[in-house]
């Protein structure tokens, strides 16, 4: 249980872990758990990955931090690697996904001001989640995380997710719009997968109107959905892309990448961060990219995701109370017809770590290093847990 010295911000489950290995974690009592959450899409390479450990230890013994007032060669290398993978031009590093999105929002506003738009607006979507700083929670389409923190940051126009016509309509009525901020697949919003062509349609609208397309790849990026970045499924190159989570495999790092005209917006002094891209986090992120590339984990995530999705559909697809099973790569969801937070504890007791989001969606974000047998074990165990939970209505 959290102590009285900790702010009561998290409803932690009654378990503490001592160590991990691959896709497994061990608690203080020696019980082991199959991790199907990966720290919310963070530990794509699993726990205690040798290459990550080696990079972390070696760099910690050399140099942890220097100010951005000096050149940081590892940061330069990381920026180049990410830009080449994503088809972007330059990068700003920070410490989290929220900070990456905060940078993207500031970039979009500055882009507007540089075009003499005094109150630049950004189109955002219902059900989205972009972080918990004041600007990013204002941009998020989640009333629950906004409540009590009003007045919110102004300048966001909200439209339904997966609705291109609504974006067009907002553009017709508001001449101050300068950007669209969108997740390729919603994460906290319930793993909603838009129709094919949605991102491409947004790209077209943004091009026609001179807006920036900002794609939040914080949860979907770094091979999670079967491509390095989810927007690549549609061949879309955004103007701004934000990353975090899987980039550091547990070491806190975020990135805001920019392309084309967006890459020319920030100037010296426009933005910054003390810890931005220090040698330690950049060395680890480079090791993560090396391993993802070497192991072809984008391809692996696509293949294993198909296997896991098929197994979940086979086992739970026709169970009363299961509304839909969906996913792309290793970002999967089982949607029930009722709230199911209780499943977190039940899954824990059964030895698997899962997540429930949007009240009734079981979210699965296993490490990309999952084996076929671990995927089968997850499907079998989740089948048992969900059936037991729904049992009263299946009889």
- What average pLDDT does the segment 29-51 reach? 98
Whole-number average pLDDT of the chain: 97
**Which phi-psi region, left, alpha or beta, contains residue 54 (left: φ > 0; alpha: ψ -120 to 50)?**
alpha
Residue 341: count of CB within 10 angstroms of its CB? 11
Of 76-80, 142-146, 198-202, least confident by mean pLDDT is 142-146
Token pair of 29 as six digits: 């009592």
What pLDDT shows up at residue 393? 56
Which residues participate in catalysis according to the annotation? 129, 216, 245
- Tokens matching residue 270: 């426009």
| 5-37: pLDDT as tens digits | 999 999 899 999 999 999 999 999 999 999 999
pTM value is: 0.97
Q: What is the pLDDT of residue 4?
A: 87
CA distances from 272 to 25, 71, 204, 251 (A): 36, 14, 31, 19
Q: Do 32 and 348 meet the contact criterion of CB atoms below 8 Å apart?
A: no
Q: How far apart are alpha carbons 256 and 214 in whole angstroms?
A: 10
Q: Decide: 319 and 390 in contact? Cβ < 8 Å.
A: yes
Would you give the distance in Å from CA 114 to the centre of its chain?
Answer: 30
- pLDDT tens by residue, 221-235: 999 999 999 999 999
pLDDT at residue 3, as a whole number: 82
Asked if the model's pLDDT at residue 220 lies above 90, the reply is: yes
Q: Does the pLDDT at position 214 exceed 70?
A: yes
pLDDT of residue 1: 66
| Spatial separation of the C-alpha atoms in residues 101 and 254, rounded to whole Å | 9
pLDDT tens per residue, range 304-338:
999 999 999 999 999 999 999 999 999 999 999 99
**Does the pLDDT at position 392 exceed 80?**
no
Is the pLDDT at 157 greater than 90? The verdict is yes
The sheet that has 32-35: what strands, in order across it? Answer: 17-21, 24-27, 32-35, 352-353
| Residue 395 in this model has a pLDDT that exceeds 70 | no
pLDDT of residue 320: 97
The predicted model gives 69-95 an average pLDDT of: 98
Q: What is the pLDDT of residues 359-375, one digit of tens each?
A: 999 999 999 999 999 99
Q: Residues 197-205: what's their mean pLDDT?
A: 98
């Amino acid at each position: 249980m959290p102590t009285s010295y900790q702010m009561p911000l998290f409803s932690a489950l009654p378990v503490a872990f001592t160590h991990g290995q691959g896709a497994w974690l061990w608690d203080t009592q020696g019980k082991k758990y199959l991790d199907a959450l990966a720290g919310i899409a963070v530990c794509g390479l699993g726990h205690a990955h040798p290459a990550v450990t080696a990079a972390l230890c070696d760099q910690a013994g050399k140099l942890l931090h220097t100010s951005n007032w000096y050149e940081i060669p590892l940061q330069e290398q990381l920026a180049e690697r990410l830009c080449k993978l994503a088809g972007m031009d330059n990068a700003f590093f920070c410490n989290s996904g929220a900070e990456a999105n905060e940078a993207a929002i500031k970039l979009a506003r500055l882009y507007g001001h540089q075009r003499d738009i005094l109150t630049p607006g950004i189109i955002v979507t219902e059900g989205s989640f972009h972080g918990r700083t004041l600007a990013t929670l204002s941009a998020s389409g989640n009333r629950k995380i906004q409540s009590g923190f009003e007045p919110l940051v102004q300048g966001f126009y909200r439209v339904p997710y997966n609705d291109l016509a609504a974006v067009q309509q907002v553009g017709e009525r508001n001449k101050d719009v300068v950007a669209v901020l969108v997740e390729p697949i919603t994460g906290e919003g319930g793993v909603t997968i838009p129709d094919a062509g949605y991102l491409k349609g947004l790209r077209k609208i943004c091009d026609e109107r001179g807006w920036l397309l900002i794609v939040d790849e914080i949860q979907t990026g770094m091979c999670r959905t079967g491509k390095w970045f989810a927007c690549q499924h549609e061949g879309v190159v955004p103007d701004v892309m934000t990353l975090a989570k899987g980039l550091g495999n547990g070491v806190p790092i975020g990135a805001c990448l920019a392309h084309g005209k967006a890459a020319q917006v920030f100037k010296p002094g426009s933005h910054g961060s003390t810890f931005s891209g220090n040698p330690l986090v950049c060395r680890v992120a480079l090791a993560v990219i090396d391993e993802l590339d070497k192991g072809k984990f984008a391809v692996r995530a696509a293949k294993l995701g198909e296997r896991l999705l098929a197994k979940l559909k086979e086992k739970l697809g026709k169970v009363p109370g299961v509304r839909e099973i969906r996913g792309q790569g290793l970002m999967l969801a089982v949607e029930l017809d009722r709230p199911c937070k209780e499943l977190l504890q039940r899954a824990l007791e059964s030895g698997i770590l899962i997540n429930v989001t949007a009240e009734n969606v079981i979210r699965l974000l296993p490490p990309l290093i999952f084996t076929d047998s671990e995927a089968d074990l997850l499907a079998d165990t989740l089948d048992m847990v969900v059936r037991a939970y729904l049992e009263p209505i299946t009889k």
